[in-house]
C-alpha cells in the first residue's frame, strides 16, 4: 500500500530508527506500524555497523518497507548513529524510536494529539511517549500531556532526564539547537550529555501521563538488549543506594553549573 494512502499518514514527520544487530526487532517494529495502518513522510534506519548477516537482512527489509538506510563501515557508537540518522531527515518533525520498541494500539490517537500540540506550541522542543518512571514535576497541559518543569534546586535526581532517548517526537532542528550527540562514548554517557545540554539550553517538553500506553519495549531472547548497565545501578543495598544517590546528585550539580555541553 502506498504510504500516503494509509489511514494514519503523517506527512510532516519522519520516523527515524536507530539499529544495531537486531534486524528481527526492527522488522517487528515496522510490522507493527503496518498493522496500525500508520505511515510517515519517510522512514530512516540508521545502522551502527551491524554484523554482515544483519546488514543482509536490512536489505531485504528495505525492499519490503522502502526505508532509507544510512550505514557506517564500522561501529561508531550511539551518538554517531543518531547524528547521521538525524542528518538524513528532511521533514520538520522526527519521531525517534530505537529498534527494540513497539507501537501499541493507542499509538495513533496519542501521537496525533502530541503532534498537534508541538505544531501549535512553538515553545516545545520534544514530546515524550515512553519512560521507565514518571517525571517528578509536571504541569498539566492538554490531552493527558503535561509540561515538564525543571527545578534546578530540587534534590530529586529524577529531574535530570527531561530529555531521554526513549521514543519521542521532536523538532528536526534538535542538533542545531542543542548540539550534536557526543560521539565515541558509551550509550549512557551519550544520553546523559544530551540531557545536560537540553537543560542548560532551556529545552522544553511535554510528557504523556499514560506513558506505558503508546510504546512497549519489545526485547526478545533471540535479540536481547545491547545495552550493558553497571550492576550497582540496580543494587538493593541501602548504603550503596544512598552513596550512589549522593554521587549522582553531586555529579549532576557540578556538570550543570560548571561544565558546558555542546
Range in 45-59, 221-235, 248-262 the model is least confident about: 221-235
State the pTM of this model: 0.92
What is the C-alpha to C-alpha distance for residues 215 and 116, in angstroms, rounded to an integer?
19
The closest of 185, 182, 186, 137 to 158, measured between CA atoms, is 137
pLDDT of residue 2: 66
List the chain domain ranges.
3-226
Q: Read off the pLDDT of residues 112-126 as tens digits, 9 standing for 90 and up.
A: 999 999 999 999 999
Range in 37-41, 81-85, 164-168, 240-244 the model is least confident about: 240-244
CB-CB contact of 30 with 48 (8 Å):
no
pLDDT of residue 248: 93
pLDDT of residue 225: 59
> Looking at residues 63-69, what average pLDDT do you find?
97
In CATH, the number for domain 3-226 is: 3.90.550.10
pLDDT of residue 231: 47
pLDDT of residue 232: 44
- Rg of the chain over Cα atoms, rounded to whole angstroms, equals 18
Percent of the chain residues past pLDDT 90, beyond the cut: 86
Q: Read off the pLDDT of residues 189-241 as tens digits, 9 standing for 90 and up.
A: 999 999 999 999 999 999 999 999 999 997 665 656 555 545 445 567 776 88
pLDDT of residue 66: 95
CA distance to 24, 57, 230, per residue, from 60 (Å): 11, 5, 36
Contacts of residue 244, Cβ cutoff 8 Å, sequence gap at least 6:
232, 233, 235
- Extract the C-alpha cell encoding 227: 545495552
What is the C-alpha to C-alpha distance for residues 132 and 80, in angstroms, rounded to an integer?
24
- The CA-based angle 97-179-257, given to 5 degrees, is 110
Q: Read off the pLDDT of residues 14-26 as tens digits, 9 standing for 90 and up.
A: 999 999 999 999 9
What is the C-alpha to C-alpha distance for residues 72 and 79, in angstroms, rounded to an integer?
13
Query: Is residue 105 pLDDT above 80, yes or no?
Result: yes
The average confidence (pLDDT) of the chain is: 93
Percent of the chain residues past pLDDT 70, beyond the cut: 92
pLDDT of residue 238: 75
pLDDT of residue 233: 55
pLDDT of residue 179: 97
Amino acid at each position: 500500500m502506498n504510504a500516503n494512502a494509509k489511514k494514519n499518514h503523517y506527512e510532516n514527520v519522519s520516523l527515524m530508527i536507530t539499529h544495531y544487530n537486531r534486524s528481527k526487532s526492527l522488522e517487528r517494529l515496522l510490522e507493527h506500524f503496518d498493522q496500525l495502518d500508520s505511515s510517515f513522510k519517510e522512514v530512516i534506519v540508521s545502522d551502527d555497523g551491524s554484523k554482515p548477516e544483519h546488514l543482509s537482512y536490512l536489505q531485504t527489509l528495505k525492499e519490503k518497507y522502502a526505508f532509507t538506510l544510512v550505514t557506517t563501515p564500522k561501529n561508531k557508537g550511539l551518538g554517531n548513529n543518531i547524528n547521521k540518522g538525524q542528518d538524513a531527515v528532511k521533514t520538520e518533525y522526527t519521531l525517534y524510536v530505537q529498534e527494540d520498541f513497539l507501537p501499541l494500539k493507542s499509538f495513533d490517537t496519542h501521537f496525533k494529539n502530541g503532534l498537534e500540540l508541538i505544531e501549535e506550541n512553538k515553545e516545545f522542543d520534544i514530546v515524550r511517549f515512553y519512560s521507565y518512571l514518571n517525571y517528578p514535576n509536571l504541569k498539566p497541559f492538554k490531552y493527558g500531556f503535561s509540561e515538564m518543569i525543571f527545578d534546578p534546586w530540587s534534590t530529586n535526581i529524577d529531574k535530570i532526564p527531561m530529555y531521554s532517548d526513549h521514543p519521542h517526537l521532536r523538532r528536526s532542528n534538535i542538533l542545531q539547537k542543542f548540539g550534536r550527540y557526543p560521539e565515541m562514548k558509551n550509550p549512557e554517557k551519550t544520553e546523559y550529555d544530551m540531557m545536560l545540554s537540553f537543560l542548560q539550553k532551556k529545552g522544553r517538553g511535554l510528557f504523556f501521563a499514560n506513558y506505558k500506553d503508546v510504546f512497549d519495549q519489545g526485547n526478545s531472547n533471540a535479540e536481547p538488549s545491547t545495552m550493558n548497565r553497571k550492576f550497582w545501578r540496580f543494587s538493593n543495598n541501602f548504603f550503596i543506594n544512598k552513596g550512589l544517590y549522593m554521587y549522582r546528585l553531586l555529579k549532576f550539580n557540578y556538570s550543570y553549573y560548571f561544565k558546558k555541553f555542546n
